[in-house]
């Protein structure tokens, strides 16, 4: 498989070399965590002169004997070399029974620089503080971005490249298949066997059909305001015996496993977060195509999903803005920075254009405002609002 250097993630890892944190690489299955760990290993080998690297990949059968914490701990401590910089890199760490005991012990010795990856359902962001007594530094890995897609394929026409990205998405393993249906078969297999299966195993879910229905509902309603109660009311029509608390738990499990990302609402005028009706976005939009089919491509929602994930990649907190009962697709916040964003597939129609810009014009503060759409034109300004093509925005660092 062709590889590209994922500089953003690799630089994050390089920048924390030598810190006492336990570095944890998280993200949806098949998003490239293992390849990133290998790239980091190669970097350390080439650039840290006194490095002693202990690299364990539990996907390989040669490490089967280390799948209990005592054996793993003994193996690593026996590999320690005094007066060297000792790096411990463990891939799929959850495959070792009691792995947290080993990691905590190694961390307590203050002799190792520790980097681990794990299954999306078994090494959750929400579990890190509980699992590890030491401080953790989380590196969140996402499927390929549009800019990585362009780099991978060497695309020269950004507009046609974006059209292809909408269909093919960021699950790079699917790029090896030439037929689009084969690509979607690969992607569906990832979702069904490596994401949902993990969730069902971890939480001992008995009602698999209900989990699948909730997952499909969220896929079909990306970018729509949704609540556990509204899903319950909808699914109750299928004569499922469910309640909104169960639905809420299942949604939480899907988000914990990085299948979906929840985006809360933010009252722009009142400057407060709202607790009801959230939006959910897929970690890769092609999970929807692979599961529900491509009969309804719904480009507007898919572009919104792509923008949401890109904002998360760039380190923003992402919210849905509410102002005078009007909705702003995204309020993106990072420290003292704030951006208001509207997303559309096509704004060539005057009514559509006005619908997108009018809510932004009502915002009175001085933070940047923009409309991102498939304009296929150079960026321009309208009443202080930036109008920019989606491919240009995605490629802009």
pLDDT in tens, the chain (397 residues): 678 889 999 999 999 999 999 999 998 888 899 999 999 999 999 999 999 999 999 999 999 999 999 999 999 999 999 999 999 999 999 889 999 999 999 999 999 999 999 876 667 666 777 888 878 999 999 999 999 999 999 999 999 999 999 999 999 999 999 999 999 999 999 998 877 888 888 888 888 888 899 999 999 999 898 888 888 888 876 566 778 888 899 999 999 888 999 999 887 776 767 767 899 999 999 999 999 998 777 899 999 999 999 999 999 999 988 787 788 999 999 988 999 999 999 999 999 999 999 999 999 889 999 999 999 999 999 999 999 999 999 998 6
> Do residues 390 and 241 share a domain?
yes
The answer as to whether 251 is a domain residue is yes
> Do residues 386 and 289 share a domain?
yes
The answer as to whether 1 is a domain residue is no
Is residue 286 a contact partner of residue 31, using CB atoms and an 8 Å limit? Answer: no
Quick one: pLDDT at residue 195? 76
> Do residues 113 and 163 share a domain?
no
Instruction: Provide CB contacts within 8 A for 291, sequence distance 6+.
Output: 188, 191, 215, 216, 219
Dist CA 98 CA 70 (whole Å): 9
Q: Which of 120, 141, 162 is the last residue of a domain?
A: 141
> Do residues 155 and 124 share a domain?
no
The answer as to whether 371 is a domain residue is yes
Query: How many distinct structural domains can be found in the chain?
Result: 2
The answer as to whether 135 is a domain residue is yes
> Do residues 171 and 302 share a domain?
yes
Q: Which of 117, 141, 165 is the last residue of a domain?
A: 141
pTM, to two decimals: 0.92
> Do residues 84 and 160 share a domain?
no
CATH number of the domain encompassing residue 73: 3.40.50.300
> Do residues 153 and 48 share a domain?
no
The answer as to whether 2 is a domain residue is no
The answer as to whether 222 is a domain residue is yes
Half-sphere exposure of 223 (CA within 13 A, CB side): 21
Quick one: pLDDT at residue 121? 63
> Do residues 209 and 357 share a domain?
yes
> Do residues 42 and 135 share a domain?
yes
Q: Which of 141, 174, 206 is the last residue of a domain?
A: 141
Query: Left if phi > 0, otherwise alpha if psi is -120 to 50, otherwise beta: which for 142?
Result: beta
Domain span at residue 24?
Answer: 7-141
Angle at 252 between CA 249 and CA 258, to 5 degrees: 150
> Do residues 151 and 132 share a domain?
no
Dist CA 196 CA 172 (whole Å): 19
> Do residues 224 and 291 share a domain?
yes
> Do residues 302 and 222 share a domain?
yes
């Amino acid at each position: 498989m062709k590889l590209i250097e994922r500089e953003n993630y690799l630089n994050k890892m390089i920048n924390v070399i030598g810190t006492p944190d336990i570095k944890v690489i998280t993200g949806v299955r098949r998003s490239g965590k293992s390849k990133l760990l290998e790239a980091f290993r190669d970097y350390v080998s080439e650039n840290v002169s006194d490095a002693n690297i202990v690299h364990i990949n539990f996907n390989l059968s040669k490490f089967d004997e280390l799948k209990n914490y005592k054996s793993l701990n003994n193996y690593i401590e026996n590999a320690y070399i005094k007066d060297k910089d000792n790096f411990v890199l463990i891939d799929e760490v959850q495959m070792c029974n009691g792995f947290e005991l080993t990691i905590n012990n190694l961390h307590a010795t203050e002799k190792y620089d520790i980097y681990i990856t794990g299954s999306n359902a078994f090494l959750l962001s929400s579990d890190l503080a509980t699992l590890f007594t030491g401080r953790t530094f989380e590196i969140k890995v996402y499927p390929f971005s549009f800019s990585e897609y362009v780099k991978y394929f060497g695309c020269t026409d950004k507009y046609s490249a974006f059209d292809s990205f909408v269909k093919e998405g960021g699950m790079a393993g699917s790029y090896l298949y030439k037929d689009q249906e084969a690509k979607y078969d690969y992607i569906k297999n990832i979702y069904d066997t490596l994401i949902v299966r993990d969730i069902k195993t971890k939480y001992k879910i008995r009602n698999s059909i209900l989990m699948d229905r909730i997952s499909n509902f969220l896929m079909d309603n990306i970018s729509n305001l949704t609540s556990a109660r509204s899903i319950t009311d909808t699914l109750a029509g299928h004569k499922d015996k469910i309640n909104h608390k169960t639905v809420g738990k299942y949604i939480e499990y899907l988000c914990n496993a990085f299948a979906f990302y929840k985006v809360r609402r933010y009252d722009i005028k009142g400057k407060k977060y709202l607790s009801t009706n959230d939006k959910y976005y897929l970690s890769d939009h092609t999970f929807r195509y692979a599961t529900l089919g491509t009969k309804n491509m719904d480009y507007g929602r898919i572009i919104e999903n792509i923008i949401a994930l890109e904002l998360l990649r760039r380190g923003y907190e992402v919210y849905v803005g509410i102002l005078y009962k009007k909705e702003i697709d995204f309020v993106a916040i990072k420290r003292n920075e704030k951006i208001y964003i509207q997303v559309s597939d096509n704004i060539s129609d005057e009514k559509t254009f006005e619908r997108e810009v009018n809510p932004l014009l009502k915002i009175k503060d001085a933070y940047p405002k923009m409309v991102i759409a498939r304009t296929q034109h150079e960026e321009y300004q309208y009443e202080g609002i930036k109008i920019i093509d989606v491919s240009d925005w995605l490629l802009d660092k």
